[in-house]
Amino acid sequence: MDPFPAMKNDLLLRAARGEKVEKVPVWAMRQAGRYLPEFREVRSKHDFFTVCRTPELACEVTLQPLRRMDLDAAIIFSDILVIPQALGMEVQMVPGKGPVFPNPLVTPDDIQKLNATPDISKELGYVFEAITLTRQKLEGKVPLIGFSGAPWTLMSYMIEGSGSTTFSKSRFWLYRYPEESKKLLSILTDVIVKYLVGQAKAGAQLLQVFESHGGFLDETIFNDFSLFYLRRIASEVKQHLISEDITPVPMTVFAKGAHYAVESLAQTEYDVIGLDWTMDPEKARSTAQKYNKSLQGNLDPAALYGSCESIAQRTTEIVRKFGGKGHIANLGHGMHPDMEPEHLNAFVEAVHKSSEELIQKQ
Ligand SMILES: Cc1c2[nH]c(c1CCC(=O)O)Cc1[nH]c(c(CCC(=O)O)c1C)Cc1[nH]c(c(CCC(=O)O)c1C)Cc1[nH]c(c(C)c1CCC(=O)O)C2
């Protein structure tokens, strides 16, 4: 028996499985965040990781955007960097700078210092609790998305120690220490699989894997150091759930910048392929159809800086290109802190209106 309230809106889950929908579901990466005054209010009292680690606070900020807009999904408030923390690394969130690791990995010997097999429910149980609480509080209004960073993106943060424009330190590892890099990626993969299985068991109804730094790799390096592990994650998460008699939840992979990888990702067990705003929806659609996959995306987040009319116009165009079926509308990357909530609302409304019209005509 499902212990959670019955779903009133399951558009996201139907679209992820390629089923018929009356309108295209829509949510936005970073829909909970600093562009919302009510989020800044919470953050003025609690630091970033305290919000992540306190289920009531994480639940509250997860629900905030849904009170303002007709979004079709909630995404649990957390961060991809909770995994390096679970492996024993310190991560600080520095205002104006983003995440900083005071002691990044410098040489492969540093891998020994990691707690490679953490007790996931002990180290990350707070995320599972936040998910369960949020599923209750959502009362079936919309599905709840869980997520993780992908191995390469996490490895690159652990080595760079912060964001980077070149990722030269972490890319150095791939070419100079390929075997040790694979060892690290495989440690991360094992942890991510357990973490995502735990999220599904706690109540997450779709799982998204963020390979935000995919586009820094060329195709052959991507295949060996990213795709290989992404593929393992989808297949092992689903196998684990099946072995525990749990119906596998749909999974989305978002490999930002990895244009060359749309087809190879469509050949994995992910159900949804996320597109950034530089990828062509029509081209991706013909690839996705071959493999029965759904797509997510891909309005340029910067389009939200335009007027509400121009947002509606651009959104209508994108919805038409994706064709209505097997589409989850989203931005091509996350919201920025200086964006106006009303402009995100214009996007949400335009997705619903234009997709309803499109689908009715079909
Ligand atoms: C690369 C990455 C990170 N975190 C994440 C990614 C993958 C997605 C992507 O590519 O953007 C994922 C993430 N981070 C956050 C969420 C919450 C859920 C949601 O999407 O609403 C999600 C899904 C909250 C957050 N994570 C962070 C914030 C802002 C920090 C704050 O509140 O002070 C939020 C709301 C911090 C963070 N965390 C990270 C960075 C680079 C930053 C700094 C960004 C900035 O300062 O604008 C790492």
Whether 79 sits among the annotated catalytic residues: the reply is yes
**Is the shortest distance between the CB of 147 and ligand 1 below 6 Å?**
yes
Helix ranges (H only) for the chain are 11-16, 37-45, 48-53, 55-68, 82-86, 120-138, 151-160, 168-176, 178-202, 219-222, 228-243, 262-266, 281-290, 308-322, 341-361
* DSSP type of residue 80: T
Is-catalytic flag, 175? no
Joined together, the tokens standing for residue 172 give 């150095």
75 in ligand 1 pocket by Cβ < 6 Å? yes
Quick check: ipTM above 0.90?
Answer: yes
Count the neighbouring beta carbons within 10 Å of the beta carbon of residue 215. 16
- Which whole number is the average pLDDT over 282-310? 98
Per the annotation, the verdict on 34 as an active-site residue is yes
The Cα-based distances of 104 to 95, 101, 123 in angstroms read 19, 6, 20
- Which of 265, 244, 252, 267 lies closest to 297, judged by CA? 252
- Minimum CA distance residue for ligand 1 atom 41: 98
Identify whether 291 is a catalytic site residue: no
What mean pLDDT do residues 283-291 have?
98
pLDDT more than 70, % of the chain: 100
Phi, psi of 83 (to 5 degrees): -75, -50
Q: How confident is residue 58, by pLDDT bands cut at 50, 70 and 90?
A: very high
pLDDT in the model for residue 270: 98
Enter the DSSP assignment of 226: I
Task: Indicate the DSSP class of residue 7.
Answer: P
Q: 1: pLDDT confidence band, cut at 50, 70 and 90?
A: low
Query: Which pLDDT belongs to residue 31?
Result: 98
User: Do 5 and 139 touch, CB atoms closer than 8 A?
Assistant: yes
Provide, rounded to the nearest whole percent, the portion of the chain with pLDDT above 90. 98
Average pLDDT, the chain: 97
The span from the CA of 175 to the CA of 167, in Å, is: 13
Q: What is the pLDDT of residues 174-212, one digit of tens each?
A: 999 999 999 999 999 999 999 999 999 999 999 999 999
Q: What's the token pair of residue 107?
A: 């040489």
Question: Tell me, which fold does domain 11-361 have in CATH?
Answer: TIM Barrel (3.20.20)
Q: What is the mean pLDDT of residues 62-67?
A: 98
- The yes-or-no verdict on residue 240 having pLDDT over 70 is yes
Instruction: Give the nearest ligand 1 atom to 43 CA.
Output: 32
User: Which DSSP helix (H) or strand (E) runs through 280?
Assistant: none
pLDDT tens digits, residue range 138-183?
Answer: 999 999 999 999 999 999 999 999 999 999 999 999 999 999 999 9
| DSSP helix/strand/coil, 17 | coil
pLDDT tier at 29, thresholds 50, 70, 90: very high
| Rounded mean pLDDT, 247-271 | 98
Ligand 1 pocket test, pick from 49, 67, 79 with the greatest ligand atom count within 8 Å of Cβ, gives 79
Tell me if 62 CB under 6 Å of ligand 1: no
65 Cβ partners below 8 Å, 6+ apart?
28, 31, 32, 36, 71, 74, 341, 344
